[in-house]
Amino acid sequence: MNFYKLSVLTRHNFRLAFSYKLNFITRYLSVVVSVLLFYFLDVLLQRSGATEVAGGTYFTFLIIGGAFSRYLELASHAFSANLREEMLRGTIEPLLATATPVTVALLGPASWALLEGTILAGLQLGMGALVGADFSQANWGAALVVLLVSLISLMSYGVFSVAFVVVFKRGDPINWFINSVAYVFSGVFFPIELLPSWLRLISYLLPFTYALRALRGALMRGDGLAQLWPDLLILLGFTAVLFPLSLLAMRYATRYLKERGELAHY
């Protein structure tokens, strides 16, 4: 029953997103623009004499980083942004009045955004391959395992974000954390080895660093699980800590919501 309700919320949010056709189309056009940007950055690097980054071309490096960054955006923004939109429309209150579990009601509005993010990331990888990204050695099975493990860890940040929105309405430091810290220190657009050693310590404290390194290892060098297990083990460690904490934060936010009844206050 909960899966059915989640599928209904997904279809509802797809129809809602598609009703704003210009905004819907521009999200997919942004993939084309990103691929072109990465392509010409690679051309610029080649003219400077550099040909390889992390065992592959810089263009492939950027394509994978750009696709992964969409999941970073989902982790920090999609859950809270979709929840706030539903709050402003006044559609969350009627949903909570039904037998729908509170967690499904609060996280369900982001289900389409999560699915669309997967489609956009796949589209970016596909377009990158057409333009010249080298996935000839890619180990897609290992990459899928890395992606699944990473997604669970990233979703923890989304749950934290929803908890903040429920309690503070506008206070959501998760967005700031992702946009200001993770993009710079996780190696999304350049190798973390370029950072000074004292700044590199920040990179090692972020799960995104290990997720992206493992994903690039699988897609650029064809590494299997035997080579990727150190990064996967660290990722699982982050998940084992962050996911229960995010659920506790959600439980606190739910209890706060029931005690204060402030969902209609924006």
- Taking only the tens place, the pLDDT of each residue in 231-262 is 999 999 988 888 888 888 877 877 776 666 65
Q: Using one digit for the tens of pLDDT, what is the confidence trace for 88-117?
A: 566 666 656 665 665 665 556 666 777 777
- With a cut of 50, say whether residue 194 has pLDDT above it: yes
Q: Which residue has the higher pLDDT, 115 or 191?
A: 191
pLDDT tens profile 72-87: 676 666 666 666 666 6
Question: What pLDDT shows up at residue 131?
Answer: 85
Look at residue 116 in the predicted model and tell me its pLDDT: 76
Nearest to residue 262, comparing CAs of 170, 158, 173, 157? 170
pLDDT in tens, 24-60: 788 778 888 888 888 887 777 777 666 667 667 788 8
Mean pLDDT of 61-66: 87
Identify which has the larger pLDDT, 40 or 215.
215
Eight-class DSSP state of 189: S
Question: Given this model, what pLDDT does residue 6 score?
Answer: 63
Q: So what's the pLDDT on residue 237?
A: 92
Closest to 187 (Cα-Cα) out of 153, 216, 146, 222: 216
Contacts of 4 (CB under 8 A, 6+ apart): none
Mean pLDDT value of segment 147-173 = 74
Per-residue pLDDT, 266: 46
- The residues that bridge with 53 in the sheet, in sequence order, are 56
Average pLDDT over residues 20-27: 77
Q: What is the pLDDT of residue 24?
A: 74
- Report phi then psi at 10, rounded to 5: -65, -45
Provide, rounded to the nearest whole percent, the portion of the chain with pLDDT above 70: 69
Tokens linked to 221: 């060098």
